[in-house]
Amino acid sequence: MKKTMIWMTTALLAATAGFADGSISGKAILQGAAPGEKPIKMDADPFCAKTHATPATTRHFIVGPGGGLANVFVYVKDGLAGKTFPAPKEAKLLDQPNCLYMPYVMGIQVGQPLTIKNSDGTLHNVHCVAKNNPEFNLGQPVKDMKTEKTFAKPEVMVQFKCDVHPWMFAYVGVVAHPFYAVTKEDGSFTMTGLPPGEYTIEAWHHKAGTQTQKIKVEAGEAKLPDFVFKPKS
């Protein structure tokens, strides 16, 4: 009987915990025509030029069907005060293949390792232009060289650039919790496992600016109205 009661209590707690979690989904769209992307001139480094059969282009506005806008960083900006979340031990990867940063936009949690890799057979200079966190500037002259860093404070967004190749940029959103996402090519995003509560959600695009919305999250899925951005040069 005692074992049965323990099992029932454990099962009830597990079910209640799963039921209490909520999720947020939504979409970022671009209203109006996107500015044309420009070809990137990589001739200054013959290695970089040879990695692209056709010239790579800038990645300012990646727009999918129906105007879905990719590379928008979406995160819980407010509503988690007093709650703490342990940093994942698994490292996130910021790679440099074909003389471009990949991914272009990403998120990471405070205290989570960030592995920065050079997948190219040419020198890259990783310049992290942080403001809330220490700025760093380091060379990676060897193919497959890796450097690990962590961020101690939230910061949206941290810009990465390469001082050797001026067309190389990446943007990293550093937050104190795991509730963030980057929109896909169709503009969609989902954040799961949110405790019930009222939240301010911010959506950031490096050319079109930021937008915020408020939402109440309970068990199940809450859907946000579209974040509608307008093109800017």
Pick the range with the lowest mean pLDDT from 70-79, 104-113, 149-158, 219-228: 219-228
3-state secondary structure of 150: coil
Residue 181 vs residue 32, higher pLDDT: 181
| DSSP code at position 55 | -
Pick the range with the lowest mean pLDDT from 35-44, 138-147, 163-172: 35-44
What pTM was computed for the model? 0.89
Sheet (strand 124-129) strand order: 105-109, 169-175, 155-162, 124-129, 136-140
pLDDT value at residue 6: 35
Q: Give Cβ neighbours of residue 80 (< 8 Å, ≥ 6 apart).
A: 176, 177, 179, 195, 197, 199
3-state secondary structure of 9: helix
- From the list 98, 88, 94, the residue with the least C-alpha distance to 106 is 94
**Token pair listed for 198:** 């009222």
pLDDT value at residue 43: 93
- From the list 63, 28, 21, the residue with the least C-alpha distance to 189 is 28
Which residue in the block uniquely carries the two structure tokens 């590379």? 71
Report the alpha-carbon distance of residue 88 to residue 110 in Å, rounded.
9
Report the alpha-carbon distance of residue 191 to residue 181 in Å, rounded.
6
Neighbouring C-beta atoms of residue 151, cutoff 10 Å: 23
Which residue in the block uniquely carries the two structure tokens 């496992």? 193
How far from the centroid of its chain's Cα atoms is residue 113's Cα?
14
Residue 222 vs residue 187, higher pLDDT: 187
User: Cα Rg for the chain, rounded, in angstroms?
Assistant: 21
pLDDT, one tens digit per residue, over 3-53 is: 433 333 333 333 333 345 889 999 999 998 888 899 999 999 999 999 999
pLDDT value at residue 222: 87
Peptide bond into 225 cis (omega under 30): no
pLDDT value at residue 233: 62
Neighbouring C-beta atoms of residue 149, cutoff 10 Å: 18
With a cut of 90, say whether residue 221 has pLDDT above it. Answer: no
Cβ(115)–Cβ(148) under 8 Å?
yes
